Every structure is written in C-alpha cells, then in structure tokens.
C-alpha cells in the first residue's frame, strides 16, 4: 500500500500493490491466455443470449426478459475483474490506484447483488407460471416486470454504494492491521512472497 508522503502528517493511500499469481513469466502468460479464453467465451455466450432475445419477438416474455437482464449482469461482473487480471499477467504490473480499486469494488458488489435479486425474481416468475398459470399474465405483465427489474437494479446500487463507502471509510492503519491479522496478501512497497491462501482467495474472487 503506497501512501502520499508529501507532508510528515500525511497518511492518505494512493495505490495498492496486488500480489501476482507467480513470478515466472511463462506462467503469467498462461494465466493471461486462460483468462482471455474465459472472457471471450463469456462475451460470446451472453452476447448471443442478448441478441436472440432482443431480436425475436416470440421471446418477449417475463422469463426471457429476466434472462436478458441476467446476461447483462454476467457481462458486467466478468468485465469488472478479468480485464485487470489479464493486464497484470500480460504486462507484469502490480499496482492499482485507490480510486480504481474503489470503482472495481463498487461495480463488482453492484453486479453480484443485482444477480442475487434477479435470481430471486426469476424464482418468483417460475412460481407463478407453475402454481398459478391462469393468473400469470395478470400478475406478471410487462409493466410489473419492468418495475421489478428496476427495483432489483436499484437495490443492488444502494447495497454496493453502502458497502463501498463503509469499506473505504476504514483508516489505512486499520486495513493493514486487519489484513495482517487474517494473514491475507500483504500490501507493501517492496516485493514479497504472498501466502498461498491469499492467491487462492483472489483466484476465487476473479472467477466468482
């Protein structure tokens, strides 16, 4: 964790240093190609879903409307984490600015929260389609679906905003103490070996 040392009493954080998966250049390039393949597959699959649903008027139903929103969320969530991970592996960069870190955290929590809300709405939609088929068209009309989707996106936005604000309101010293107490990856200005548990945790975050 780099700090602004322009004044003796200054302790503002300017950037974070991210731990690398490995120090071997060949393995870093392997990580890049694996991440690139996963990213392109996600773009292709979700792009096809969005295009087919948008172009085929027979698919303009509540279930496919929620599925289109879910595809957009998947594109957003994977675009939040993988491009930075690919850039780190390709160019062997370790740093990320504090504002970019905050933006990445906000977007990631936003898309994950929106996905949970959308999955709940899709379960609600299937419940009425199976248990109350005669009232399905009345209960889940186009206006009701739009209102529920807006509520899901709005709830996710507020949740992400509060989570990000609370996270970055913690003083830098407390963040460093917390990371050292749970033995998470160390943020330091000098190269250091990162514990295996920290690497596995970051890998799980990327593929979530």
Say which CATH number the domain at 53 has: 1.20.1070.10
CA pseudo-torsion sign 128, 157, 202, 167? negative
Indicate the pLDDT class of residue 190, thresholds 50, 70 and 90. Answer: very low
Cα 86 from chain centre: 15
CA pseudo-torsion sign 79, 85, 86, 87? positive
Q: Judge whether 190 lies within some domain.
A: no
Q: Judge whether 25 lies within some domain.
A: yes
Tokens of 174: 């407390």
pLDDT above 90 for 19: no
pLDDT above 80 for 164: yes
Q: Judge whether 24 lies within some domain.
A: yes
Distance between CA atoms of residues 32 and 83, nearest Å? 10
Q: Judge whether 196 lies within some domain.
A: no
Under 8 Å between Cβ of 174 and 167 = no
The pTM score is 0.71
148-169: buried (b, 16+ CB within 10 Å) or exposed (e) per residue? bbeebbeebeebbeebbeeebe
Count CA atoms within 13 Å of residue 40 on its CB side: 7
Q: Show the domain range for 82.
A: 16-170
Give the closest residue to 205 by CA, choosing from 35, 29, 16, 27: 35
Indicate the pLDDT class of residue 109, thresholds 50, 70 and 90. Answer: very high
Q: Mind listing the pLDDT tens digit for each residue in 34-92? A: 889 999 999 999 999 999 999 988 888 889 999 999 999 999 999 988 888 888 777 77
Q: Judge whether 10 lies within some domain.
A: no
Indicate the pLDDT class of residue 171, thresholds 50, 70 and 90. Answer: low
Q: Say which residue, 72 or 203, is predicted with more confidence.
A: 72
Q: Judge whether 73 lies within some domain.
A: yes
Per-residue confidence (pLDDT) for residue 66, from 0 to 100: 93
Q: Judge whether 194 lies within some domain.
A: no
Q: How many domains does the chain have?
A: 1
Indicate the pLDDT class of residue 189, thresholds 50, 70 and 90. Answer: very low
Helix (H, G, I), strand (E, B) or coil at 67: helix
3-state helix, strand, coil in the chain (%, to 5): 75, 5, 20
Per-residue confidence (pLDDT) for residue 82, from 0 to 100: 86
The arithmetic mean of pLDDT across residues 143-155, rounded, is 93
Q: Judge whether 1 lies within some domain.
A: no
């Amino acid at each position: 964790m780099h700090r602004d040392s322009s004044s003796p009493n200054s302790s503002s954080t300017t950037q974070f240093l991210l731990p690398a998966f490995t120090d071997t250049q060949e393995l870093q390039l392997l990580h890049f190609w694996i991440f690139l393949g996963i990213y392109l597959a996600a773009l292709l699959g979700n792009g096809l879903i969005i295009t087919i649903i948008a172009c085929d008027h027979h698919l303009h139903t509540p279930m496919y409307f929620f599925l289109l929103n879910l595809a957009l969320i998947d594109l957003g969530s994977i675009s939040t984490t993988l491009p930075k991970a690919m850039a780190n592996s390709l160019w062997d960069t370790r740093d990320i600015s504090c504002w970019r870190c905050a933006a990445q955290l906000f977007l990631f929590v936003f898309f994950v929260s929106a996905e949970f809300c959308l999955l709940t709405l899709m379960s609600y939609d299937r419940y009425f389609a199976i248990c109350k088929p005669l009232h399905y068209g009345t209960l889940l009309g186009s206006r009701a679906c739009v209102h529920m989707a807006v509520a899901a996106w709005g709830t996710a936005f507020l949740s992400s905003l509060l989570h990000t604000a609370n996270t970055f309101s913690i003083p830098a010293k407390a963040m460093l103490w917390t990371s050292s107490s749970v033995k998470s990856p160390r943020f330091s200005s000098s190269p250091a070996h990162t514990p295996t548990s920290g690497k596995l945790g970051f890998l799980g975050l990327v593929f979530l």
